[in-house]
Structure 1
Amino acid sequence: MKKIIFIFTAIIALTFGACSPDEVTINPLEPTDPLLIGAVLNTPSVTTFNIVQTTDTTVGNEADEAVALTWEAATGDNDGSILYYVQMDITGNEFKTAVTIPLAASGTTELTRALTFGELNEAMNQVSVNLVKIASALSVKFDEANVVDVRVQTILGASIAVQYSEIINITITPYFTGLSDEISIKGDALASDVMLVNTDGVFKNRVELTASTFRFFAEPSETNISYNYQYFDSRGYTIDPLLVNANDTEMNFSFTGEEGAWDLILDTNSKTIELVEVVAPDNLYLIGSLTGWDPATAFPFHNNGDNTFTISAHLVDGDQFKFIPTNTSWDGAWKEDPNNPGSIINEGGDPNIGGYPAGQYLITVDFNALTFTMKEINNLYLVGTISDPAWTPTAAIKMGNPSAGVFSLIRDLKASDEFKFLPTNIDWSGDFGEDPNNPNKGFDGDGEKNIKVAEDGTYVISYNYTTNDIIVSKIVIPTQLYLVGSFRGWNNDAGNPKFTEVATNVFEITQALAANDEFKFVKSNTGGDWANDIAQNKTSPLVIEQNGEENIKVTTDGTYTITVNFNNGTIKLSK
């Protein structure tokens, strides 16, 4: 059953002589014999105290009186005032970390002190803090019976002489009121529970928040202890203005800011709860040895719109890189956190990201979690009724790889055919299909859909790891192919250079081109016939696309060999 720690205003405030973990009060004065005869502490009629915590379903006894301690008056050799204090400590500790309960701001001459169950509980929690501070082998056992030493300290004002009463023992079963070393946050404001990372009393993590409620929970969850808005507010915490008291039955926090990613920081040292909005850059670029370390030639990431960015890249042994938000300068560069592999920090200098074997990788940068991941994507296969009626992975068809992270294949399909993708043809590891909620997007979770076409035909099938796009488009495979483009002023006539069919459905040509020349392919050299012209897909570079295509462009002068493969749907350029 969930427990919430409530604050009881009826509990009389205690000022503990050793309240701060940094100031453990150890009796500074030794008693002096002739000046003072100490008080005599009476044993109360009840010496066992079980403190009941207030929870969602239980009314606790924190505000109830537990015991009235009384003592006989002390006597002194002069006319100075005599002041009394009650001290408590765990038995066996000899009052090394005693909690002192003042009877007034500077002591009192009264001979009795009533204590509530809540005050006893607070005292036991402070004793626990003090024991930890001195690294004692002793400890307070919460939710168990603890034998406690109690005495009265007597101070003679004029001579500052000190005496102590005889010790009496009482037994207290307290509950823990401090913050756990492990804390999570849960509630409707979050899509899932989030553990906070504790660094010397500063609890922090990045969370996705919506306008709703949450509170903090001690872990492990079996403790059923939680900390609500009132818990922190009553303890003097400064709470971010975007977090307000929900004033519901559980006194939850209510988040009132913009939905999105936030850094939540609970600092028990400065007693603050702060929210810092996560602001991802508008753009991101990959810069490194594979780009010549020049911002102008850095590779652009794909912005997924949820503070994550993806890019596919070919790496060779020894390649190193980092991330920049603009391709005009090094300002704002992100590198790997040397103390947290897989995390990024917004700093210049070393270390660069590197050490990966040569291969093709999908690189994902997540500004919600400030992390990056590397996924090797060297191959992709098509599996389904078109490869084997039994869907056997070993019969899966290998796809072409025309550009980084892009795979393609051309196949005759029937409306009854179904298929999906496999990164290996050994087994079903990593298979994925279409997202049931986002058509034409890849998805490897529960409920993924097989991919189908509406009618029989020949189709170009492609998948782009960078954009997560699945593209299935119809095509008519030509019997001959011609090159048309800016190198001839886009004159589509009998002068169009003709490809050579070097293998079944594979066409090749060698052509001199200038920097920034653009071109595409046509199936006829009859003047002006642009029907069913072919170039590359607009979002998956160098994948064959018929109609609705994008021109292909070269960036440097040279003589190029252009290969168009109507078996795997790829376009290849080499100099």
Structure 2
Amino acid sequence: MKNISYFLMLILAVFAFSCEEDFMTPPVKTPVEGTAPVWVNQPSSDIDTVLFKRNEDGALLSLSWTAPVYADNIGVRYFLQLDTKGTNFANPIEFDRIAATEMTVTIGQLNAALMKRYNPAEKVEIEIRIRAASNEHLADLYTEPFSMKVTPYLDVPVPSAFYMMGTATEVGFTSSDALPTLKDGDVFYKYLKLTTDGAFRFSDAQSDGGFAYNYGKFATVSSNIEEAGDEDGNFKFTGETGWYEVKADFTNSELTIAPFQVGSTTYTFDPAEVYLVGDYTDTVAAWSPENSPAMIKKSEGVYTIETAIKDGAMLKFVGQQSWGDLDWGNLGGDGSEGIVGPKGKNGNITFDGGDKTYIVTLDLNKGAYMIEEAAIYLVGDATEAGWDIANAIELKWRSGHNAYIGYIPLKSGHFKFFPAKGSWDNGMGRITDSEDPKGGLLGGENKDIPSTNTTSDFKLYRIAVWYDTDASSYKYSVLDAEMVLVGDATPAGWSIDNGFNMVYAGEGKWVTYADMNASGGFKFFYETGNWNSGYKEYDAVNKPGELSLEGGDPNISTPGEGYYKLTIDTYNMSYTKELIATRKMYLVGSPNGWNINEGIELIWDATNNEWTLTIDLTADDAFKIFAEAGNWDSGFKFKYEMLSFEGGDPNMSTPEGAGNYTIKFSLAKRTLTFTKN
């Protein structure tokens, strides 16, 4: 038994020694060669291409090859290699390994590999091959290389929209104010004023969350651009302050800033004069620079004009009263994008104005134009809106007055003017606290304007704002709301201090009922005692009923002897006259069951030029005075502490409890009194 055990131990020892001999066998010093892979579809040898970011997911190369032949083909892997042509792949860039004998290379994949070594937007000639590898005992095998010429791009996203901002521009670094550019393929253009040594950058959004295109996002920049060296990595503009073309070319990863010239004329941001030309209103000759109106220069590089604009309008700006070199329009062609382009780069500005009045502004500093319906807004604790800018009260542009006009109720308190509802920007107040609250210059210290009404009850005022070219500033006036008839055709005669009062009917309209004489003339005046506040008929023969706000002859001729309803529409500069069959007034309300067809008639007192009525009223009676039987729209009421001709509530009510009253109603004096008998 012991002999068997010794024999087994001997066998195990021999086996162990044999295994150790195997483990100690040295590795091969020369890998075993095999047969190299061969291209199945030989790529073209004349490829010369420019790569574009917008096509990064597109296939550029579809490659396939044969498998190499090894004694043992287990575990063969493939690597795509590229290197500069002529270097014999001394330092190849290698793609991740794959197991298949085919692969597709996208534009983005090739660009990412190239950007590890080469500069963007610069053409390079490279060679590409496949490396086949198995294990350390088997040699790497390669396909024949093929060459191609390729221009890579800087891997920066090409935006769908592009905005410019910074201290080099007029808007600073406020994202919401960033200036839009024009997109033409992968190239963006902007024409604007740039300030020397100012910083700037771009974004794909007018918000703080936009992607920042700052220094390093373009492969090349023009010589007047350098790194700002600030924490945001902005650009710095080193050229002279002036008006420039900014071109952001994502195709070639190039940002350039250059002056713009047409012929021998270099464009500036502050030309001496600018005219609005085109076919936009019937009162201006179409496409006639020599007959076109000059725009008002509001400040350096900013020009504005108020004008009516029709539907289908087309317009442009020129810097001379001829078709010369200075010409601005909609950048890129006809349209209304609001971006300014110079001559050769623009089209007409198109706009459907509906014959309304607009403010047209050319801002060469920002490279922008704006067409806004003409309005100025009023806000303050003296107004019905309070200091709520979102509900500011509108003063519309009235071309006949050459001003923004509105009849606005005010109480005690203060107010200010603003160019846009909902925005506190660019508010206009009086220049100092010493400026007359009834009117004067706006601007300066922009002080809140105190109301001339010192009570807590609202009163109606005529408020106007206009631009005074002599003062180069806006002005305003606040007058008591009134309208008087004056003339020898009226009961008032030509007494400007004692005119026949009209009654406010809302929306800029005033109404009265008056006896007119067979001969003579008359005018409407918006301010007692002021001969310069008169409206006269513009053209009685060709345009009867149209008014103009200017002094002098002619007066408006009497419509003839009779009792007339006269209405003036100050907003639309027109008036109407309507002969009324009888001179009567009616009380309609609780006392007659609100029967508009059978009102209680007031008696005309020719001596005092008023209507009177003596009547018993109960404590809760409600009523109105009406000028015409059967016409609910002819009623009078009190509103804003004055007699009003507007429809709707409130009704009048018994003033001092039940009793017998004498009512006296005078249109000439705009008074309605109740005397308890």
TM-score w.r.t. structure 1 length? 0.47
The structure with higher relative contact order (CA 8 Å, sep 6+) is 1
